Amino acid sequence: MVDEYLSEREQAEQLRQWLRENWIWLVAGVALTVGGYYGYRAWQSRESSRALAAGQRFASMLDAIGNDRRDEGLRLAGELTGEYSDTPYADQAALVLARLDVDSGNLAAAEKRLAGVADSSEDPDLRIVARLRLARVQLAQGRYADALASLDAVPSAAVNARVLELRGDVQRAQGDQAAALAQLRKAKAAAEADPDNRAQVDMELLQLKIDELAAAEPAG
């Protein structure tokens, strides 16, 4: 019994000695755990505040551009793509800026912005939108191979009708009327078969394109 008592006492003394030597590391470990938790909560709060501020700037940007306050809109867009580039609104602002570039005839600038969103956005839907618009800009520049390559990179079946229609537009611009007509008819079939695809195209305009190309087909 004495041996057992001494053994336990020795063990207790060893534990106390260990605590005296290592208390600072224990305290530091607890501090790091608690600090990490509150740091994460603070980070979440900061990110939420930044997202809210970016959203407000995006709404103000749209309002400014829609009401002919272009300089104000461009300033806000610059803040979104700069200071708030880590928020989802930055990519949306880039799409708006690309549209303004197209309207002003600066297709090269529009292409650069659209390619950036298409390649780097964390939002898969925005990547699709950007790539479709990129193909349209490349078509407008007469760069048909690049436009077709951009369309090849669109992954979603939900926009298949839009992709087929744009492919038909490119082939028509290339002078391949038969291939263009085939693509447009496929686009119409895809739109009629699926509501998601139908929402992506203007059915009346698509039918006009088909009718025009069909009327120009050689008889027989």
pTM, 2 dp: 0.74
Q: Is the pLDDT of residue 48 over 60?
A: yes
Q: Is the pLDDT of residue 28 over 80?
A: no
Digit-coded pLDDT (tens) for 90-130: 998 898 899 999 989 999 999 999 999 999 999 999 999 99
Please report the DSSP string for the chain in residue order: -HHHHHHHHHHHHHHHHHHHHHHHHHHHHHHHHHHHHHHHHHHHHHHHHHHHHHHHHHHHHHHHHHTT-HHHHHHHHHHHHTTTTTSHHHHHHHHHHHHHHHHTT-HHHHHHHHHHHHHH-S-HHHHHHHHHHHHHHHHHTT-HHHHHHHHHT---GGGHHHHHHHHHHHHHHHT-HHHHHHHHHHHHHHHHH-HHHHTTS-HHHHHHHHHHHHHHSPP-
Q: So what's the pLDDT on residue 186?
A: 96
Digit-coded pLDDT (tens) for 158-168: 899 999 999 99
The structural domains of the chain, with segments of one domain joined by +, span 27-135, 156-220
Q: Which residues contact 204 (CB under 8 A, 6 or more apart)?
A: none
